[in-house]
Homo-oligomer: A and B are copies of this chain.
Amino acid sequence: MESININTKLDLITDLWKPRVIAELNGQHVKISKVKGEFVWHDHKEEDELFYILKGKMIMEFRDKKVDVNEGEMILVPKGVEHRPIAKNEVWMMLFEPKHIKHTGDVESELTIKEYKTI
């Protein structure tokens, strides 16, 4: 049991849209990621997903609306709901989701990650 420094972990990330695992508990992962640009439309059939913005401003696009998620804010995307994260400028985020979740749901994309790395 040691403390986990988020900024120290963020410093290790030099790429975009590739979440890294920083903690695992109760079958869930805590991940961090740096993102910029538009992700792909996707949903997760069985998993709710939480995005917490550490730096910058994300827009979470749904089929019927867009929601601004600013630094210090979070948004919960319920299972089965199509969504697409957008970051006009670089955004640093924390994710909380089941460990077996598929990165882009059933959508295959060049952004799809097959296996999450722990840092």
Contact = CB atoms under 8 A, between A and B. Distances in A.
A73 B6 contact: yes
Interface in A63-84: 65, 67-70, 72-78, 81
Contacts of A23: 50, 74, 76
Given A1-B67, A67-B3, A48 B26 contact: yes
Contact of A74 (B6, B47, B72, B74): B6
19 contacts: A1-B67, A1-B77, A1-B81, A2-B67, A3-B68, A3-B69, A3-B74, A4-B74, A4-B76, A5-B70, A5-B72, A5-B73, A6-B72, A23-B74, A25-B48, A26-B48, A26-B98, A30-B50, A96-B96
